[in-house]
Structure 1
Amino acid sequence: MKPIVAFFLFIACLTPSFAQETEYNLLPFPAQFAGGEGHFSIQNSTQLVYNLKDIRQKQAVLLLADYLKSAAGLTLKTTAWTAAAAKGKNIVFQAHTQKKCGPEGYVLRVFTDRVLVEAETAAGFFYAVQTFLQLLPTDIYSPKKITTQTSWNVPSCDILDKPRFSYRGLQLDVSRHFMPVSFIKKYLDLMALHKLNTFHWHLTDDQGWRIEIKKYPNLTKIGSKRAETLVGQYYQNYPMQFDGKTHEGFYTQAEIRDVVNYAKTKHITIIPEIELPGHALAALAAYPNLSCDPKKTYEVATKWGVFEDVFCPNETTFKVLQDVLTEVITLFPGKYVHIGGDECPKDAWKKSEFCQSLIKKLKLKDEHELQSYFIKRIEKFVNSKGRVIIGWDEILEGGLAPKATVMSWRGVQGGIDAARQKHDVIMTPNEFMYLDHYQGDPNTEPLAIGGYLPLEKIYGYEPVPAELTAAEEKYILGAQANVWTEYMPTPEKVEYMVFPRAVALAELTWMPKGPRNFEDFSYRLKNHLKRLDHVGVNYSRRLFDVTADTQFTGEDQLQVRLEKMDSDSKMYYTTDGSEPTRSSTLYEMPITLKKTTTIRAMTTSGGQLQQTFFIHKAKGKKYTYAAKPTSDAQADKLTDGIVGRSPQSRREWVSLYDQDLDVVVDLGEVKPVSKVKVNFLKVILEKGFPPTSVEIAVSRDGKDFKEAISQPITYELEGPWTLLPAVADFRTSRARYVRIRAKNAGACPPSHPDAGAKTWFALDEIVVE
């Protein structure tokens, strides 16, 4: 047996062929690891040896025995630990006495003649079994006996493992879309498989109250039901469209207790979230007296977003919330209660005579300090019950509650500020940790809220901000990924959005600090996906995607470079529109195009790509603005040969806010120009109005421009978002310069929900033929 080596030393020499040969496809990868020679073979004669009086060991032994029986058909005998049994060809569990493992760590040593498992706690033994299972063939995860697997061998290795962070969290929002208990348990199973130890259960919001509170039955009788649900993406249709179907569901207290107990067997702590003082519409629909305007009629929200109606900071509200939290605390035995604290508009408080009087009475500066007062009162009550509150980073505004833990979601600054104030922090910045964002090309992915968070970006995230000192770093408890379900109506969609990105979260929160090798991670992940197949996970195959990048190499040439994360698969492609097969051209070098072409590509692991690349006279040419846009106007976005395909993929578009467009493209020399085309976006509900007029003109000298088209773009205000083209036909003109001017709509019309607000428009790819 080789001695244990540090992870980073091992990972530097780990190659895909080595990993495949010895089957060390572990996720998350251990803190310290050494590979060995040979393997341990599990037979019916193998015994599971442990201290029969140690419940910590017994639970882990029974878990392993169950897997071996159901998938491998091996019924292993359990026997008491003795010196003789410990030296036999057995799997031996025993207490770790050297104090090197910590509360969740373990030692796992696989010899050719025995296996040794050591830990200090039940969690340590549990995680040791999770690693042991990953050393076995992936068929061990099958829910039924695998008859085709003839041997159950475990490769020799030496592991001393423990997590970097004590908090390794995964959240699930069940307010926007209710998820059944059976799925919650499956979610917990998947968390445990990846050594994630905290489940943040978002139970209340504007769109639904999902937890039974016996003292206030209307919270579920009324608050758990919404009349209908928004159809499509939030800004997709103007006016909004709804499905006309009631959406409802809540968890009884008996179901909550069952889930909490189930999580305990997986060594997972559940943190309930009861949103306050904002995101309260479902509660106000049930009890209007909790608002600042009790005479108003409230309804459970049928669309997404942030609403002005929030809890009123009066004694009635505090009494009800304290009663609610009392029942919640009896159901969840963990240390934390999450109270939200985010996205609380102050409009209702500004209009309320009571709130304004309260601000004066308490000598508060403004409504932000009123929110701080609200949070601090709730914290004091929660603390009196022996618990600690967690809140989103908005609870920093107006003054942080004395003992609060902060979840930093609006970037990392909230975490930095809280740590410097000596408060515990959980890092969950939306740029890296929001699994409701697209993980691939929005044009081919299922509908999501927006954004772009590929697997490799999560994997590269470092939870401890570099700005913190060594003394401040200790306040970073760990990281959490969040799963907001506005666009996840089913468990299958949740699984697709969460996995395998949650696997990356698991590794980055478990591994020691230091560089991480994404190529190695993705190789191990390929094998791991077979495990997820066995347990029935509808994961995304984004790992096998093919992506394209472009580079201009000549006057009429575009070089397209195809890339894939799956490094050991082969890629084939076509340029004639036909479907690629293994008989198509093998991709070995960038593809040079001389005309507009659709490339279709496939990998032997199932990856696909279909994308059209436009070859035209303006491709790769420089352009200048008369007035530089204030938004995302990248230097080459309008002439990169990639045409924006839909409103969902904003990365392909240039947006201008509250300003007109005046851009000139330099073709480099005078040449024939027959046509100029450009697309604009129509996203009315998002204040994205097409320009009121577009002027396209050409010039030989850049001074004297010949006007080709100057007219408004016509469209229907109502309807779905779409692309609207502007085309100028020059027939036989010759020019070096092409100018496009577009007039911003200025302000939303009176009929718009944001009447009078400033508008924006977006365009992409100035195509010159």
Structure 2
Amino acid sequence: MKIFKQLLCFFFLVMVSCKNEEPVKTGIIPQPNLIEYQQGTFTVTENTVIVSENSEEAKRIANELVTFFDKNFSIKLNTSTKIQNNAIHLKISEEVEHNEAYQLKVSNKGVSITGKSYHGVFYGVQTLKQMLTPKALIKVPTLNFMNINDAPEFGWRGLMLDVSRHFFPKDSVKEVIDILAMHKMNKFHWHLVDGIGWRIQIDKYPELTKKGAWRKVKEHKKPWEDYEATYKDSGAEVYGGFYTKADIKEVVAYAAERYIDVIPEIEMPGHSEAALQCYPEFSCDGEGTSGVYCAGNDGAFEFLQDIISEVVPLFPNEYLHIGGDEVGKQSWLNCKKCQKRMLDENLENAEELQSYFVKRMEKFIYSKNKKLMGWDEILEGGLPERATVMSWRGFEGGIEAANMGHDVVMSPGSPLYFDHNQGKSEFEPPSWGGYNSLLKVYDFNPVPDVIAADKRHHILGGQANLWTEQIKTLSHVQYMMLPRLSALSEALWTNPNQKNKEKFIKKIDIHFDRFKELSYNFAGSALSPDYEVVYNKADNDFTLVLKNELGINEIRYTLDGSEPSINSALYSAPIRYTKAINVHAQTFRKGKPIGYPLKKMFSTGFGDKCKVTYTHPYNESYSGGGDKALFNNKYANPRGDDPNWQGLPKKDFEVLIDLGEHNSLSFVGLNFFQHIGATSVMLPTQVIISISEDGKTFKTVLNKTLETVKDRDPIIKRMETEFDKQDVSFIKITAKNRGKLPDWHIRKGDAWVFVDEVTVK
């Protein structure tokens, strides 16, 4: 019998795949936990009927399918409550064990989607829609016979959107919710309140939205620099916005129809400049500049309790997030009221005062039938007994809380901060901080092994966070979400034993076409060309390897610096070279460019004999990789945390490069970095490049004074010089450090110079 089944499987291999093997068609994200295919197909036609109960919930889901088939296939389906063949049945059954689980079956009778509740049915519909898209591949709605039995691995599958730093109108928020829904995500954490913008109507305290929702726009300053709340009609240039209670209810209802819980965040006790500039009497100094509520002032607690009393009725979900992170405690230490509170409550330090603050608010929130959730700093000084921790500073806070018996949502900055870069290219749009690639997100596991086995059930799941310091538009929001949210959805939904990275890569390539059809702006960063250079000592030449993160699609390139086209050389093997090359590479998908190009010059002038002498040593924390970092063919990106930058504070960057042998050169170049908005790194004031044949007599080939640039955004400044070809054995480079940061800089102290990648030809 077993042999017969194997033969049967072989004979139908061209038509359908063997049981448990998914045909290479459109793929489903997140991957179902059990999917079986059988021989045969079912085609949806105009005679197919959608069958469901007569409830409003059932009709809403049925109408979603009606719209889908009309839009994608111009098929107008009727609905009915009568069970029949040639139908798509939406059913409820107690036999389905999990509220979010669903069963999807395709047979000669049609399609049936069954859930314990319509929550599960809704997810089954999302799966069906993916099996019949993108339109570029699916012209006729034909489905293989199959059985799918699916349920999520984790109950918390979320995304946080920060609307304080930049405001997004309710229709934009709804589009974010749509993207969550198509990926079977179920939590939308709405960061409504922070230091630089209050976004929710509070009737008892109208100044919060009259003034706290608006800020002065100041030249050459980011929103958080010298923040000043103001009135919309103040006469100055202002930025802001807020949601009325009606807006909130509308968004919450919209999310509920897609089975997504909305969790509001009302920040406390820190990150509260917007509120305290409106009501400074609740701060320690009476001015609100510290952005921290006075823990010794009972009025501050009453103020927050009044706010929570208005917020709670708007959000049906059981959680209320209070933030609790990055509290500047110095104002408490300087405050007589706070010091008295510490004395009265027998508190030894500011951390215990923070714990007192959080515990006091937790009791009130609990009295409103809500659970307090906070970032992992709420562990400091002692955690309230009923609190849930959202761990963002790595996994450690979540591990500690779970082992203490507290529920936890894992949200570590690496890899789940979606405001971080997702590609290495210098052409990526503005981002904040590090590098979280698509496959890094896919590999996320919210349950570290070090959590005790009997405590692992406290890990509710995971959540990505999208902070918006650098993100001003819905298009940019979508770009930072997609396709990383697709990877996260599979990391949180699919059983680890069912995850398959190679299969995911094939599916995400098809998912790109779905995004296009939905007009979503997605990142092609995982397809942007990357590189690796290897020096072949035996042959005295170099090898350039081109690749991208996913290892798919065509990479085409030129070596003369010209822009590559679909007709340019196809990369198929490593490129070997013996003289400097200008590489311009681009990935092409379906004949069109995708991702960002690679534009680099790779040198050959530095061999094993080369050595560098530093007048002033680089800082060990910013070594760039050591003495050879200046010519290792690894270019640093426009981020201060890129490990390829070599940096030193206060003193000039001054090096003598001994090439170890004569080289016939006509060009020297290198890169410098500046990011005023986030670092103390500034461009040098002057760059001097000199060359010598004997190491004694030097000829200056570049002496350039640089103008001060006050732009807060990251800058890579390329300094290069061309000269008549000549024998060169030594190169001397000096970059003048300005010493101290200028008065207008947002920081105080020493200026740094960051340098990388000296190139010659």
Pick the TM interval, shorter chain.
Answer: 0.7 to 0.9
Decide which moves more: 689-698 or 383-392: 689-698
How big is each residue's C-alpha offset from its partner over 1:224-264, in whole Å with a ceiling of 9 and x where there is no partner? 11121676879999xxxxx9731121111111111111111
Whether the 8 Å CA contact 2:94–2:116 is kept in 1: the answer is: yes
Amino acid at match of 1:219: L
The CA deviation at 1:691 is: 6.7
* Distance (whole Å) between structure 1 residues aligned to residue 441 and residue 180 of structure 2: 17
Sort the Cα spacing of 1:746 and 1:335 in 2 relative to 1 into closer, same or farther, 3 A.
same
Decide which moves more: 206-215 or 344-353: 344-353
Which residue of 41, 44, 58 corresponds with 2:46?
44
5+ long unaligned stretches in structure 2: 3-12, 227-234
Report the counterpart of residue 6 of structure 2 in structure 1: none
5+ long unaligned stretches in structure 1: 3-12, 141-147, 238-242, 299-306
The CA deviation at 1:540 is: 1.8
Quick check: 1:631 aligned with 2:624? no
Quick check: 1:373 aligned with 2:356? yes
* Distance (whole Å) between structure 2 residues aligned to residue 609 and residue 17 of structure 1: 38
Report the counterpart of residue 617 of structure 1 in structure 2: 605
Amino acid at match of 1:489: K
The CA deviation at 1:441 is: 3.4
Q: How does 1:54-133 map to 2 (within 5 A)?
A: 57-80=58-81, 82=83, 85=84, 88-99=85-96, 101-133=97-129
Report the counterpart of residue 145 of structure 1 in structure 2: none
The CA deviation at 1:492 is: 1.5
Q: How does 1:655-734 map to 2 (within 5 A)?
A: 655-656=647-648, 667=659, 669=661, 678-683=670-675, 686-689=679-682, 714-717=705-708, 719-720=710-711, 723=717, 725=719
Report the counterpart of residue 562 of structure 1 in structure 2: 546
How big is each residue's C-alpha offset from its partner over 1:107-159, in whole Å with a ceiling of 9 and x where there is no partner? 1111244222221112111101111111113249xxxxxxx986221222221
Sort the Cα spacing of 1:716 and 1:684 in 2 relative to 1 into closer, same or farther, 3 A.
farther
Whether the 8 Å CA contact 2:701–2:721 is kept in 1: the answer is: no
* Distance (whole Å) between structure 2 residues aligned to residue 354 and residue 398 of structure 1: 19
Quick check: 1:493 aligned with 2:484? no
Q: Percent identity?
A: 35
Whether the 8 Å CA contact 2:425–2:528 is kept in 1: the answer is: no
Which residue of 303, 308, 319 corresponds with 2:290?
308
Whether the 8 Å CA contact 1:171–1:482 is kept in 2: the answer is: yes
Report the counterpart of residue 160 of structure 1 in structure 2: 149
Which residue of 564, 568, 574 corresponds with 1:590?
574
Which residue of 280, 285, 291 corresponds with 2:277?
285
Sort the Cα spacing of 1:754 and 1:161 in 2 relative to 1 into closer, same or farther, 3 A.
same
How big is each residue's C-alpha offset from its partner over 1:57-81, in whole Å with a ceiling of 9 and x where there is no partner? 5543333233224443434343345
Whether the 8 Å CA contact 2:425–2:598 is kept in 1: the answer is: no
Sort the Cα spacing of 1:284 and 1:97 in 2 relative to 1 into closer, same or farther, 3 A.
closer
* Distance (whole Å) between structure 2 residues aligned to residue 266 and residue 567 of structure 1: 34
* Distance (whole Å) between structure 1 residues aligned to residue 675 and residue 354 of structure 2: 34
* Distance (whole Å) between structure 2 residues aligned to residue 38 and residue 508 of structure 1: 31
Which residue of 473, 490, 499 corresponds with 2:456?
473
Whether the 8 Å CA contact 2:217–2:223 is kept in 1: the answer is: no
* Distance (whole Å) between structure 1 residues aligned to residue 264 and residue 199 of structure 2: 11
Amino acid at match of 1:600: H
Amino acid at match of 1:386: N
Q: Secondary structure at the match of 2:621?
A: coil
Whether the 8 Å CA contact 2:269–2:293 is kept in 1: the answer is: yes
How big is each residue's C-alpha offset from its partner over 1:307-359, in whole Å with a ceiling of 9 and x where there is no partner? 73311121111111000001100110111000010111112222212112222
Which residue of 339, 346, 368 corresponds with 1:363?
346
Which residue of 234, 237, 254 corresponds with 1:245?
237
Report the counterpart of residue 511 of structure 1 in structure 2: 494
* Distance (whole Å) between structure 1 residues aligned to residue 516 and residue 27 of structure 2: 16
* Distance (whole Å) between structure 1 residues aligned to residue 134 and residue 366 of structure 2: 46
Which residue of 433, 457, 464 corresponds with 2:447?
464
Quick check: 1:604 aligned with 2:595? no
* Distance (whole Å) between structure 2 residues aligned to residue 172 and residue 104 of structure 1: 24
* Distance (whole Å) between structure 2 residues aligned to residue 473 and residue 418 of structure 1: 11
* Distance (whole Å) between structure 2 residues aligned to residue 76 and residue 480 of structure 1: 37
Q: How does 1:145-294 map to 2 (within 5 A)?
A: 151-228=140-217, 245-294=237-286
Q: Secondary structure at the match of 1:264?
A: helix
Q: Secondary structure at the match of 1:160?
A: strand
Q: Secondary structure at the match of 2:405?
A: coil
Whether the 8 Å CA contact 1:596–1:614 is kept in 2: the answer is: yes
Q: Secondary structure at the match of 2:461?
A: strand
* Distance (whole Å) between structure 2 residues aligned to residue 78 and residue 235 of structure 1: 53
C-alpha RMSD over aligned residues: 3.7
Scaled by the length of structure 2, what TM-score is found?
0.86
Amino acid at match of 2:292: V
* Distance (whole Å) between structure 1 residues aligned to residue 219 and residue 42 of structure 2: 56
Which residue of 10, 27, 30 corresponds with 1:28?
30
Q: Secondary structure at the match of 1:451?
A: coil
Scaled by the length of structure 1, what TM-score is found?
0.85
Sort the Cα spacing of 1:640 and 1:561 in 2 relative to 1 into closer, same or farther, 3 A.
same
